Structure 1
Amino acid sequence: MNVKTLKEKLKLSYCPYSNVQVASVAIDDKNNEFYGVNCENAAFPSGLCAERSALFSSVVQGAKIGSFKEIHIISNKEHILYPCLACMQVITQFLKPNGQVYLYNYSLTKTEKHYLKEMVPFQVKDEDIKN
């Protein structure tokens, strides 16, 4: 994964309300890369974060939920921008239990790497809701 390529994707973000650009790339166990950017909407709850954009669109491209080993996230901010809790829940279903979350600031001077289990120690799992 080339973080400069990920940074370039920020230009594709649609964020006329917040002006916060976010790009993400999810990488599966076969090293396939699935990109996403945030897309805002005038009806605010109808927008979509970059993380879910990358993960949800991966399904139509043939990716298997649960097969992802990592996700990388960058924003146009100089501080690290963490995923929202809705995205974190979705990430828990797409990433393997030992999956990694990489976070970058815009100038690439700050990088954080977290294991999914650290970020979401308590998550809703399939077995919690299936009969």
Structure 2
Amino acid sequence: MTADDDALFQAAHRARANAHAPYSGFPVGAALRSASGEIFAGCNVENAAYPEGCCAETGAIAAMVAAGQRSIAAVLVLADSPDPVTPCGGCRQRLAEFAGPSLSVFLAGPEGVRECTTLGALLPGAFARTHLARG
């Protein structure tokens, strides 16, 4: 793991500590590095009206976009589970909006990175702006 990857892990770890997960008891943190090298983090935020919560990756993407950036270079998802936790289907599609199939996706537990994959492996055939009709 490089120093850049460790910075992603630390940012996700700090964000996970602030997760609002009173219903599932499953806090998740995510951090992404934009193309500029800046790191943005997010945590899951649950809501009593379950579909109204948001994933950690969504929060990190929103922070990046709010800062005026539009390109993701790497992402790390941190959760405490026996198996590595991947982004959900919706978050995979959100990541695909700002990155290509070669995006590195690090899957981590509290002890560190457990696995590295790519967005293309997690979301083959992603729906993209190129699929939209041009008026």
The corresponding residue for 2:54 is 48
| Deviation per residue, 1:14-57 (Å, 9 max, x gap) | 00000101001111111110110000001100000000110022
* CA distance, structure 1, for counterparts of residue 41 and residue 10 of structure 2: 13
Correspondence for 1:121 among 98, 121, 124: 124
Change (3 A) 1:40 1:116: same
The corresponding residue for 1:33 is 39
Post-superposition offset of 1:9: 2.1
* CA distance, structure 2, for counterparts of residue 52 and residue 30 of structure 1: 19
Over 6 Å off, 4+ runs: none
Number of residues of Structure 1 aligned to a counterpart in Structure 2? 128
Unaligned runs of 5+ in 2: none
Post-superposition offset of 1:8: 2.7
Paired residues of 2:101 and 2:121 also in contact (CA < 8 A): no
In structure 1, give the amino acid aligned to 2:110.
Y
Post-superposition offset of 1:95: 1.6
In structure 2, give the amino acid aligned to 1:6.
A
> Could you tell me the percent identity over the aligned residues?
24
Q: 2:27 aligned with 1:24, yes or no?
A: no
Structure 1 length as normaliser, TM-score? 0.89
CA RMSD in angstroms comes to 1.5
* CA distance, structure 1, for counterparts of residue 33 and residue 133 of structure 2: 27
* CA distance, structure 1, for counterparts of residue 35 and residue 129 of structure 2: 20
Paired residues of 2:31 and 2:60 also in contact (CA < 8 A): yes
Q: 2:95 aligned with 1:91, yes or no?
A: yes
Change (3 A) 1:120 1:57: same
Paired residues of 1:69 and 1:96 also in contact (CA < 8 A): no
* CA distance, structure 1, for counterparts of residue 36 and residue 58 of structure 2: 20
